[in-house]
Amino acid sequence: MALENITQNKVFGGWHKQYLHDSEVLNCRMQFAIYLPPQAAPSAPVPVLYWLSGLTCTDQNFMQKSGAFRMAAKLGLAIVAMDTSPRGEDVADDDGYDLGQGAGFYLNATEFPWSRHYQMYDYVTQELPNLIQQHFPVSSVRSISGHSMGGHGALTIGLKNPTLYRSISAFSPITHPTQCPWGQKAFAAYLGSDRTTWLQYDTCELIKRVDKHVPVLVDQGESDDFLEEQLKPDSLVAVSAPEKGELNVRLQPGYDHSYFFIASFIDEHLQFHAKHMTE
């Protein structure tokens, strides 16, 4: 599959690059960004952290605002950030910011008109990683992280695919989407009215059903405006159990939902993933 390089910048000895490609899974043109640390070489492939962003974001938010490159270069981690949904004039959309383009929710839609393009789960777990491994000096070792809607995506995808990911982390994730307005609106549109089909994309419901999961780190700001209505970290804590695996939910006083919060703790998340990707 051909890639079109549209930007590149050297940073901390490595390279941040953006690419366009034609996605067979999403039936549209897609954009992603990759950071390759200075250690990356064909003779020395590096592990990859996949980052999933939140509502209204693109591949650029994390790469420009998180301040992740210094630590990624030190640890020798590649980072891949993708767009949050299919894009294009023929791609179904909605007037609201929380549905349609910019709001793919990292699931496979089953309902018309969304099902033609909105197959983000398959894009994240299959098509994009295969593309990355084909074109860049990275190994098959991967972990996953995200913010808000992307935190929901990282948690659900990581929990459902423990053999694909060594670790999972999230900032301010939507932990119980079947019980919050953002999730209910998106799931009704993308998956239909049968709520039993929604459970496969709900972190709290998934944790109830797994016997064992890979290590998980969650950071949540206590001054987040979306804390109680949309994110519900207490629901995640309530279903966690030590025998199922490491799940550390940290409430951070004074922090909100912004990238200022992410930038404050991103080094710790990268170190968490590096530990598990090198074991």
Tell me which of 224, 240, 273, 276 is the catalytic residue: 224
Edge-to-edge strands of the sheet including 46-52?
4-11, 14-23, 28-36, 78-82, 46-52, 138-147, 168-171, 216-221, 247-252
Q: d(Cα 214, Cα 163) in Å, to the nearest integer?
A: 9
Q: d(Cα 57, Cα 77) in Å, to the nearest integer?
A: 23
Q: d(Cα 150, Cα 279) in Å, to the nearest integer?
A: 26
Torsion of CA 185, 202, 51, 48, to 10 degrees: -150
| Closest listed residue to residue 6, CA positions, set 23, 21, 28, 27 | 21
Q: Verify whether residue 53 is a known catalytic residue.
A: no
Q: Verify whether residue 273 is a known catalytic residue.
A: no
Question: Which tokens belong to 252?
Answer: 């951070």
Q: d(Cα 198, Cα 209) in Å, to the nearest integer?
A: 14
Tell me which of 53, 66, 145, 148 is the catalytic residue: 148
Contacts of 137 (CB under 8 A, 6+ apart): 36, 40, 41, 42, 44, 45, 46
CA angle in degrees (0–180, nearest 5) for 144-150-154: 30
Tell me which of 176, 213, 257, 273 is the catalytic residue: 257
Q: Classify 224 as helix, strand or coil.
A: coil
Q: Verify whether residue 224 is a known catalytic residue.
A: yes
Question: Which tokens belong to 231?
Answer: 């994110």
Peptide bond into 113 cis (omega under 30): yes
- Active site positions, annotated: 148, 224, 257
